Structure 1
Amino acid sequence: MSNNSKPPLRPHYPAYYHPLLSGFIRVFELDPGSPADPIVGRLVSQTIGGPSYEAVSYVWGDPRQRCDLTISGATLSVTANLHGALTVFRHRQRRRRLWADALCINQDNVPERTAQVELMGSIFKGATRVLAWLGWEEGAEGRQHTLDAIRFIRSFMRDPETGLREARILLLHHDVSVTGPSSRLAVLASEDERRQFEDQAQRWEAVKLFFDTKYFHRAWIVQEVGLAREAIMYAAPKPPDHDSDYDLVLDSVEWQLVGQFVKFMDYRGASLVTHLGLMSWVAHHVLMVWETLEDGSPKCDFLTSMHWVRILGVTDARDRVYSLLGHPCAVLDGQLVIRPDYTVTRGVVYTQLAANFILKTKDLYAVSMVDHDMDPCGQESRVWDPGDESRMPSWVPDWHSINRTTPMDWPHPAADAGEAEIDIEGGLEGANGKMMPHLLVKGWIVDEIAAVSRRMETTDFPVTNLTREMAKENPFWLDRVWAVVFPPSGTHENRHPLTMLEMLSLAFPLGTREKDEPVSIVGPQQSLNDHQRSFAAYVLDYHNLWRQTLRDTGGEIRKAAGCVPDRSLYDSLPEESQAVLRKRAEGATSEGFLECMTWPSMCRVVYRTASGDVGIGSRITCPGDLVCRIPGSKVLMTLRRIPGEGEEGTRRDTISCVFVAPTVVPARMKIRDEELDQKSVRFRIV
């Protein structure tokens, strides 16, 4: 499917697009020809299980750049990118049966388009092969980059561990640009090391350009290659403008191999991915949507799938939901979780989807997907407006905003869903001027947030050198986070610094807390012991960088806008705590900690609560926000009282608030009801 269901400048569809019977599709029978010949063919209707066909996966491209083709003697205008795909996929000697959305669906017929969107998953699953068109390669240099990337991925995956070790040289010399072979090189240790650096830089630059291709950044790709029996990705040199007889050469790579590469890099090379700015992790989101358990059942539920797809592009925001209706978990109580409707706003679609899950399951997992870009308290009006696509309640995830965080999928429920008191008050139809629905829940206020760090960026995490450190958004970020959770002055409720340090380290990967359980379910899985050792090594690495910085600058750099803290985290600890860290770090490296915390911590903040606990939460978290435990939610929630909101019109024991985000406080995740000495309260979340 394209990256939009209703593109602008859509052509008029000829009269021969006769209505389709229920469950039927059209297939385009493409006549054979040479690359320069006009595209000619005909449409036939059939069931998905009828004669075999191949499905075309491509990007719509610029709707203003169009080419004509002939269908049953009539002319149809399609985007230049689809025309290119048909050109390269056409056989020389025999007819080829293809399914492509812009050809096989009458986009002028809204009921047909809606019905075909529901079938999309089955269409790609039923195809004998999915042909993914990456686009034309621009010139000799463009083709060389594609070839280099494909060859490197194939070579790398024959021995990925060795390949990753060889790539570490790019991390060791952070002050060297890797924008191409002509970049400035720093003085390296030897001529051999210089050649190794140049070789690695060139190879990874080609890989970077490969994953920058627009194709990998479309939401519809999730179904198209995820459900395919076989998916092959193709690119080709752009043909000459006036050559009617040229040889068409295709460059190809199997999606399965690409998937193995991006999965390995995300789990074993996260620091390299972030350092080089590789967009390979975007393609990994496609794989995560279709992961299965040992028994073959889906590992990723529908709502988590929606979260992973948020980074991918669509022109129509409603297609973020509709492009996943082929997922096995898109059925709830025997019905689709939602049916396509292009007559209402995305805010209404997303609200209906979230409400459907909440009411039918009595589970608040949908709410834990919320990741606000801006403070939701700024909304003065809380009524529906069909002219505002983004208007929706604060408890509804805006799946059209870019996902900057990983889901907080806690392995052990923090609340008993069976005791949940959950209701939704108000209509879900999105009628103009009507009040948006409120989420009514019952729970406890566990704590209040007292201090918050700056937002953490993935580029902050690697321990580098002074040049690279000073270029970061948050130089010496770990020392600064520590100053928030354990300030030099102030009360810490008699908390030992090692206790605070362990709470902090466990917050970063959003992990479990048992000795033999993995620390993180996102990325590499470390035992608690391995996690403590690798974190200790990380603290020492940062301390050594801080100490080297002071030696090299004579301490004068402290005057440069306060970039270097007055003390490192390690220096702030008592001698006995320092000794413990040194002992833990013996024989350990910081890589394990860095890999398991990079994705969970990105774009989040660390905070200290009023009682002295350490937590990690949303980038919009503020002092005064309430950390709450709500039955029906696997994680704690952060709520914010509505300023000036009184009790008028509500029960006296009800707090009106907006939903900020899910949150993790390692020391309070397994809190029991009997440990909560205050009575429960009701929350009206607008």
Structure 2
Amino acid sequence: MEHPSGSPEFYHPLALDFIRVFELEVGNISDPVVGRLVPQAIDGEPYEAVSYVWGDRWNRRDISVDGLAVSVTANLHGALTAFRPRPSVNSAGRDPGTGQEQRQVRRLWIDAVCINQGDLSERTSQVQLMARIFAGASHVLAWLGWEEDEGSQQHVQSAINFIHDFMKDSEAGLREARILLHHHDVTEPAERLVDLSEDDRQRFEAQARIWESVKAFFEIEYFHRTWVVQELGLAQEATLYSALKPHDRAKPVHLELHSVSWPLVGRFARFLDYSGALLVTHLGLRSWVVHHTWMAWETEEDGAPRWDFLTTMHWVRIHGVTDARDRVYSLLGHPLAVLDGDVIVKPDYTITRGVIYTRLAANIIKKTKNLHVVNFVDHEYGPYLGARDWDPQDDSRMPSWVPDWHSINRTAPMHYPIDAAENEDAEISIEGGIEGSEGTLLPHLLVRGWIVDEITAVSRRMETIDFPVSNAIRERAKDNPFWLDHLWEFLAPPQSFNNCDALAVLETLSLALSFGTMEEDQPVSNFEPRQTLEEHRRSFAACILEYHELLHGMLKASGLEDDSTLPARSLYDSLPVEAQGELRRRAQGTTSERFLQSMTWQAMCRVVYRTASGHVGIGSRITLPGDLVCRVRGSPLLMTLRRMQAGPKMKMDTKPNTDTGCYAYIGPTIVPARQQKHTGDSERFNEQAVHFRIL
């Protein structure tokens, strides 16, 4: 949030649980924006709340507040211009006694005007009320911004109309859109479409145009702002608005607002993620950002939140925010943002994000005695452990086991229904302070568990654009063409497989990539569409065969058997004859689409690895050979840890026979062969017991 350029004297102190409401006066499109601030109890007179994004900070306009000129961003000025009441055109707006025009106002709450954010104390207290402000508003008005007139290309209006129509029969709409997947890219020249019939060409061009508008719609800056998540999620009613930008303000203009309800947009984005992931990735739609906003407030049938507070924070890490501490503060209205009746962390703008995030993680671990929070660590780069002291000048300083909610989020939360170990452990402890005092050591996480295996080889990072099986042109354009065949070369170096071994390794790989299936005794995915194990096996087999046929077709057409970008042979060709026959039987009558849909978001930006014992796993993109796969009490997932040397600055009070080493936390991981029922105590595999000190 920002503050207007007026002096602090513009505001008067607010009483406890009081807010200011901006009474916006009537005006035409070219009139100055005029209004006044009225303090009231938060549950007093009805008001509407404006949800918007600041936009260009240097592009500003003046408005009049209580007779004083206040500078606000052009985007906020546009929202006030669009939302203010219009002058009455008939007697309905006149006082029946005097015949004089009545004074009309629209009562709005707007952060930049209603909060004196030059006053840190007021800003902090109002942030604590933010959830109540938006939940108490009669209506949340979400301003998407002006739409520029580009001739016939009015993307927002086109997208809004399309979303209304599409959601009347979403399955039919998706079937029609799949023509974009099965033919050449939208950006390729028209002559590339000569193989299409005239009807199909027209369908293709019509779909290309409308999905271009949908793409532009989801790229609107508004959807990518962190505070929007709570503002929309808590609203009793929320509507998204845009309007064609008036260029000649001197002339009277009829301002037509284009609108769509937030629930409809949320359901549209959800449907695309769960049923059209291939279309989303192929077209580069950013609908998943909107879906993450929607997911933050999803509920079960009984009304309980579907996602806990930490998962919700992970969903919205991709959203933009000016102040990294607001990653936490902007979600404190979530129903599960409480521990033992208290808010999970209190707003404090005097300390760094590293201290806030560490306090959050430490408080959760201490109170729950589980390690669920560390499974949201998603390092962009390898954890830096050269300096292990708190530094109030370093906003990013925090332990390796604390999620940096401000880092770029590229992955979906990892989950697996078969727990790797007990969900709680009373012996979990944290050594060191979490106050962030300069020169004191960062806290260490002390846990106990077992070393499962050592990682010996790591694949290239997988990207969503790698996954679809399409055609020779698109495959050659990929950074990682024939990813599945290359992955198999990496996992299964030339060696003799018998039929059972090959199918077993393939199944382990497929379950790792998709985080399992919906089978009762198999891993269960929280992502739709969920498949039974039999459906999963059939669709995965179809994926193998589709890549095999594409590769053979390319080699036959071009004669480029020596092309180094192509695999030496397809996955299918490397298998024993009996395994090939089984895959053909499974793939009969199905396609790869369900498998690719189920694994796209889970596998994106992760790596597959092989361990010293030959196990297959999937984990963090910063995984390196030599890292350890570990089973830790209190963590439902396996962990990847990296051995560290305890330097002289550690000053550890190490107890004999307790700590066997210091480790950096790399991230959660899945090894399907080692996550089976009744193996949480690790006795079945005779794994090495260790007490871990995680820095």
Tell whether the structures are fold-level matches, with TM greater than 0.5: yes
TM-score (norm 2): 0.93
Tell me which residue corresponds to 1:675: 684
Tell me which residue corresponds to 2:157: 147
Tell me which residue corresponds to 1:549: 554
Tell me which residue corresponds to 2:669: 663
2:488 to 482, 495, 500: 482
2:302, 2:522 → 1: CA distance?
Answer: 22
Letter in 2 for 1:596: S
Letter in 2 for 1:24: F
Tell me which residue corresponds to 1:137: 147
Tell me which residue corresponds to 2:528: 523
Tell me which residue corresponds to 2:99: none
Taking structure 1 as reference, are residues 132 and 184 closer, same or farther at Cα in structure 2, changes over 3 Å only?
farther
CA shift digits 1:247-295 (9 cap, x unpaired): 2121111111111110100000000000000001100001111111121
Conserved? CA contact 2:49–2:108, under 8 Å = yes
Conserved? CA contact 1:443–1:631, under 8 Å = yes
1:559 to 562, 567, 588: 562
Taking structure 1 as reference, are residues 615 and 518 closer, same or farther at Cα in structure 2, changes over 3 Å only?
closer
1:613 to 612, 615, 622: 615
- Of residues 638-647 and 419-428 in structure 1, the stretch that sits farther from structure 2 once superposed is 638-647
2:306, 2:71 → 1: CA distance?
Answer: 42
Conserved? CA contact 1:515–1:528, under 8 Å = no
Taking structure 1 as reference, are residues 492 and 118 closer, same or farther at Cα in structure 2, changes over 3 Å only?
farther
1:127 to 137, 140, 143: 137
Letter in 2 for 1:256: P
Conserved? CA contact 1:515–1:529, under 8 Å = no
Letter in 2 for 1:109: D
Give the 3-state SS of the residue equivalent to 1:97 in structure 2: strand
2:296, 2:407 → 1: CA distance?
Answer: 18
1:124, 1:576 → 2: CA distance?
Answer: 62
**Structure 2 residue ranges without an equivalent (≥5):** 88-103
Give the 3-state SS of the residue equivalent to 1:684 in structure 2: strand
Taking structure 1 as reference, are residues 518 and 161 closer, same or farther at Cα in structure 2, changes over 3 Å only?
farther
Q: Percent identity?
A: 60
Give the 3-state SS of the residue equivalent to 1:200 in structure 2: helix
Tell me which residue corresponds to 1:582: 584
Tell me which residue corresponds to 1:165: 175
Give the 3-state SS of the residue equivalent to 2:350 in structure 1: coil
Give the 3-state SS of the residue equivalent to 1:292 in structure 2: coil
| CA-CA distance at 1:419 after TM superposition | 3.4
| CA-CA distance at 1:194 after TM superposition | 1.2
1:453 to 429, 450, 459: 459
Give the 3-state SS of the residue equivalent to 1:672 in structure 2: coil
| CA-CA distance at 1:409 after TM superposition | 2.4
CA shift digits 1:181-235 (9 cap, x unpaired): x866432331221111111100100100011100110011101111111111111
Conserved? CA contact 2:518–2:531, under 8 Å = no
1:86 to 76, 80, 85: 80
2:257, 2:519 → 1: CA distance?
Answer: 52
Give the 3-state SS of the residue equivalent to 2:273 in structure 1: helix
Tell me which residue corresponds to 2:468: 462
1:272 to 272, 279, 286: 279
Letter in 2 for 1:590: S
Taking structure 1 as reference, are residues 220 and 520 closer, same or farther at Cα in structure 2, changes over 3 Å only?
same
Conserved? CA contact 2:8–2:118, under 8 Å = no
Letter in 1 for 2:288: W
Taking structure 1 as reference, are residues 183 and 190 closer, same or farther at Cα in structure 2, changes over 3 Å only?
closer
| CA-CA distance at 1:322 after TM superposition | 0.5
Tell me which residue corresponds to 1:20: 14
1:388-403 matched pairs, under 5 angstroms: 388-403=394-409
Conserved? CA contact 2:2–2:112, under 8 Å = no
Taking structure 1 as reference, are residues 204 and 594 closer, same or farther at Cα in structure 2, changes over 3 Å only?
same
**Cα RMSD (Å) of the superposition?**
2.0
- Of residues 209-218 and 412-421 in structure 1, the stretch that sits farther from structure 2 once superposed is 412-421
| CA-CA distance at 1:469 after TM superposition | 0.7
Letter in 1 for 2:562: K
Conserved? CA contact 1:411–1:512, under 8 Å = no
| CA-CA distance at 1:658 after TM superposition | 0.2
Tell me which residue corresponds to 2:39: 45
Tell me which residue corresponds to 1:537: 542
The answer to whether residue 609 in structure 2 is matched with residue 604 in structure 1 is no
Give the 3-state SS of the residue equivalent to 2:661 in structure 1: strand
| CA-CA distance at 1:49 after TM superposition | 1.7
| CA-CA distance at 1:497 after TM superposition | 0.8
| CA-CA distance at 1:648 after TM superposition | 8.7
2:42, 2:182 → 1: CA distance?
Answer: 53
Conserved? CA contact 2:499–2:578, under 8 Å = no
1:112, 1:519 → 2: CA distance?
Answer: 46
Conserved? CA contact 1:518–1:528, under 8 Å = no
The answer to whether residue 113 in structure 2 is matched with residue 103 in structure 1 is yes
| CA-CA distance at 1:643 after TM superposition | 5.1
Conserved? CA contact 1:311–1:403, under 8 Å = yes
1:587, 1:494 → 2: CA distance?
Answer: 23
**Structure 1 residue ranges without an equivalent (≥5):** none
Conserved? CA contact 2:270–2:291, under 8 Å = yes
| CA-CA distance at 1:40 after TM superposition | 1.2
1:373 to 380, 399, 423: 380
Letter in 2 for 1:192: D
Taking structure 1 as reference, are residues 370 and 522 closer, same or farther at Cα in structure 2, changes over 3 Å only?
same
1:594 to 593, 596, 617: 596
| CA-CA distance at 1:485 after TM superposition | 1.6
1:303, 1:403 → 2: CA distance?
Answer: 14
| CA-CA distance at 1:441 after TM superposition | 0.7
Taking structure 1 as reference, are residues 421 and 199 closer, same or farther at Cα in structure 2, changes over 3 Å only?
same
Give the 3-state SS of the residue equivalent to 2:514 in structure 1: coil
Tell me which residue corresponds to 2:419: 413
Aligned length: 672
Conserved? CA contact 1:28–1:99, under 8 Å = yes
2:247, 2:207 → 1: CA distance?
Answer: 33
| CA-CA distance at 1:660 after TM superposition | 0.4
Conserved? CA contact 2:30–2:249, under 8 Å = no
Give the 3-state SS of the residue equivalent to 1:449 in structure 2: strand
Conserved? CA contact 1:492–1:612, under 8 Å = no
CA shift digits 1:617-661 (9 cap, x unpaired): 011111111110111111000000015769994345421010001
1:162, 1:266 → 2: CA distance?
Answer: 16
1:290-305 matched pairs, under 5 angstroms: 290-305=297-312
2:635, 2:251 → 1: CA distance?
Answer: 63
Conserved? CA contact 2:149–2:244, under 8 Å = yes
1:514, 1:248 → 2: CA distance?
Answer: 54
- Of residues 200-209 and 340-349 in structure 1, the stretch that sits farther from structure 2 once superposed is 340-349
- Of residues 585-594 and 11-20 in structure 1, the stretch that sits farther from structure 2 once superposed is 11-20
- Of residues 273-282 and 355-364 in structure 1, the stretch that sits farther from structure 2 once superposed is 355-364
The answer to whether residue 283 in structure 2 is matched with residue 252 in structure 1 is no
Taking structure 1 as reference, are residues 293 and 515 closer, same or farther at Cα in structure 2, changes over 3 Å only?
closer
The answer to whether residue 512 in structure 2 is matched with residue 507 in structure 1 is yes
Letter in 2 for 1:481: L
1:314-333 matched pairs, under 5 angstroms: 314-333=321-340
- Of residues 603-612 and 63-72 in structure 1, the stretch that sits farther from structure 2 once superposed is 63-72
Taking structure 1 as reference, are residues 208 and 380 closer, same or farther at Cα in structure 2, changes over 3 Å only?
same
| CA-CA distance at 1:379 after TM superposition | 3.0
1:193 to 182, 196, 200: 200
Letter in 1 for 2:56: D
1:138, 1:418 → 2: CA distance?
Answer: 55
CA shift digits 1:511-530 (9 cap, x unpaired): 25745667522231111111
Tell me which residue corresponds to 2:574: 572
| CA-CA distance at 1:500 after TM superposition | 0.3
| CA-CA distance at 1:344 after TM superposition | 1.1
TM-score (norm 1): 0.95
